[in-house]
Each structure stands twice: as structure tokens, then as C-alpha cells.
Amino acid sequence: MTTSVLVAGATGDLGARIVRELLLLDTRVRVLTRPGSDRAAEQFGGEDRVDVVTAAYDDRPALVAALADVEVVVSAVSGTRSVIVDAQRALLAAAVEAGVQRFVPSDYAADYRRVTPGTNRNFEIRREFAAEVDAASIRATSVLNGAFADMLTGQAPLVLFDRRRVLYWSSADQVLDFTTKDDVAWVTAHVALDPDAPRVVEVAGDRVTSRELASTMSQLTGTPFRLQWAGTTGALSAAARIGRRVANNEDATFPAWQGMQYFVSMFSGEAELRQVRNDRYGPHEWTSVRDVLAAHVGAD
């Protein structure tokens, strides 16, 4: 049984949730933090089953020492290429050198493997790092979960609450995969403790269309929410390319044009999950999109 898991990115939103789920499974957790940061100590200092270790990603000996006797590395780091590729590459190499048995990369996304090159930057850098993981002498498991359902409450402008509209591109009947961060953390913790986990674990807390979202919002609010066609995915992809060129903010994690690229990947169907196995780790009460929206609008 897995007894020692190191979590990178543990002070982030998703990483902290993963640590919490691992602790609920009676696992000892090691949290990796950068030199000079007190955040991890402040966040986890009161938990006797959490050890905080310090190492910079460009300090190979310190990383290897931090990974000593660790069985599984779970990465929940967030950022652009300097983090998803460069920092994780250093973490992966140190894990191999330290004899770590398994590695969970920071994917937590839709199925980036089939997305057309050039249409989604964040998916491309994940695909780039996945190739390095596959070439390394370590077992790895990626968690693919679609989009975070939590983002439907405002971060992802799909449901326009004030205008009582639900957007769609190309087809209002394209299936969209959503999973809450809590549910992603739950399955990631189980993946970390599963020595037989496959290369990819796909889960979807809910699978809905824009048409169904409009119907759900109408029911929850008692006010009609209408569908609004926003164009084709091809036109949106072109707009994202222009926005990317004009904005000149390549290092931004979630610029507006990246959000456009996510919608292109989702509404084109390329990023749709094809092998969802929600039952892999037994019964679980998955949070539905309706639950998320109901909580947001204060509906029963």
C-alpha cells in the first residue's frame, strides 16, 4: 500500500484539495515548497501527517533529497511552459533519480491528446510534457476530467447570468465534460494510492450540452434562459489567434485568448472524453453541473 506521497503545488487551489483528500485516506503527505516561502508551513503546519520540504526546481540535489523515500509524486503546479514543462521536467528527473515509483503530472484537463496542434496553447504544453513522461523510466498516470465545473459560476463565460443566455459555438448539442475541483482531488488521491492505475484515468462529474445548461438555468431561476449562437468554432479559433498576436502576453496563464481556445477544443468535440470510468474507485457522489449552478444562484 502506498504510504508516502509528495505533492508539488500543494498550496494552490487544487493542490490543497488533493492534500486534504490524501489525509482523509490516512496517507502521510510530503509538501514541496520553494526556498523563502512560508505559505506551506502556514497552511499545513498544524497537521502532523504533513511534512514540508524545501527545494528549488533548478536545484537538482535538493529536489532529489526532498524526494527520498517517496513512493508517488503528485504534481498540481499551475502555469505556462516554464512551469508545466520546465519545472515539471526537473521534478520528473529528480523523481527518477530518487527511485520514486510513480508520477502524476499536472494535467487535470480535457483530452488534450486529440486536439489539433496550434489551437490550444495550454493543451500543447501538456502534450509536450506527456511525451517526456512517457520516455522516462517511471510509471505515470494522468487524470483527465474535462473542464472544472466550478468555473461555470463566472470564470468561464458560458452561462451569462445577467443576460439570461447560454452561449454555444457550432452546435448547442455538443457534449461538454465538467468535474468540480473537489471531485478531481478525490479521484487524484485515489490514483496516487493505486499501484495499478493506468496511464490515463478519465472521469467526468457531469456531461451536459449548452441546450441542457439553458434548460437547467430556466428551471433553477424560474426565468427563461435562451441559447445564443456565438459563431463557429473555426471563427472562434481565428479570433483567438488574432487576440494572442495582439495581446502579446504569452506568459499569462489564462489570458482571454486562451479561454477562447478552450471553448474551441470543447465545442469542436476534439477534447471530449471518450473513456470515462467514474466507477473505477468505487461509489462516489459526483457533483453535478446542476448542483454547482444551484449553489451559485441560491436555488433549492
**The residue to which cell 467526468 is assigned:** 204
Bridge partners, residue 73, by sequence: 6, 103
H-state helical runs in 67-107? 81, 88-98
Give 7: exposed, middle or buried? Use CB within 10 Å, 0-12, 13-18, 19+: buried
pLDDT for residue 204? 98
Q: How far is CA 107 from the centre of its chain?
A: 5
SS3 221: helix
pLDDT for residue 47? 85
Task: State the DSSP H helix or E strand holding residue 31, giving kind and residue range, or none if neither.
Answer: strand 28-33
* Mean pLDDT in consecutive groups of 10 residues from the start of the chain, 300 residues: 87 97 95 92 88 96 97 97 97 98 98 95 97 98 98 92 97 98 98 97 98 98 98 97 92 91 98 97 97 88
pLDDT for residue 299? 65
